[in-house]
Amino acid sequence: DAKTTQPTSMDCAEGRAANLPCNHSTISGNEYVYWYRQIHSQGPQYIIHGLKNNETNEMASLIITEDRKSSTLILPHATLRDTAVYYCILTNTGNQFYFGTGTSLTVIP
């Protein structure tokens, strides 16, 4: 099952960077950190994933600490459409995801 801890909710001002933390202190060496988001009961949407190194794509950046016990998802310029529940997930299979309760991010105008 999910072995991550995320804040229940966060607010972010529109246009500012949204930094969503995730603790995964018991992560195994072969486990990847994945981030998905779910906008209002729509299907979850993949954001980004990483193993050790920091990753960046067109949606977000993923910063993983050197000891891999925590990570931060960064949405560089949050918009109202980024309001969603964000899930931080560990997996060593890359496909069987066990979603926790996630962080409900509200972007405020």
Partner 1 sequence: DSGVTQTPKHLITATGQRVTLRCSPRSGDLSVYWYQQSLDQGLQFLIQYYNGEERAKGNILERFSAQQFPDLHSELNLSSLELGDSALYFCASSPRLAGTGELFFGEGSRLTVL
The residue (of 43 and 109) whose beta carbon lies closer to partner 1 is: 43
Decide: is 99 part of the binding site for partner 1 (CB under 8 A): yes
Decide: is 101 part of the binding site for partner 1 (CB under 8 A): yes
Decide: is 53 part of the binding site for partner 1 (CB under 8 A): no
Cα angle, residue 26 at apex, residues 25 and 32 outer, rounded to 5°: 95
Decide: is 41 part of the binding site for partner 1 (CB under 8 A): yes
Decide: is 104 part of the binding site for partner 1 (CB under 8 A): no
Q: For residue 91, how many other CB atoms are within 10 A of its CB? A: 16
The residue (of 2 and 14) whose beta carbon lies closer to partner 1 is: 2
Interface pick for partner 1 out of 8, 29, 58, 96 (rule CB under 8 A)? 96
Query: How far from 24 is each of 14, 18, 28, CA to CA, in Å?
Result: 28, 19, 9
- Sign, Cα dihedral of 15, 84, 46, 55: positive
Rg (alpha carbons) of the chain, rounded to whole number: 13
- Where on the chain is the footprint of partner 1 (CB under 8 A)? 32, 38, 41-46, 49, 87, 93-102
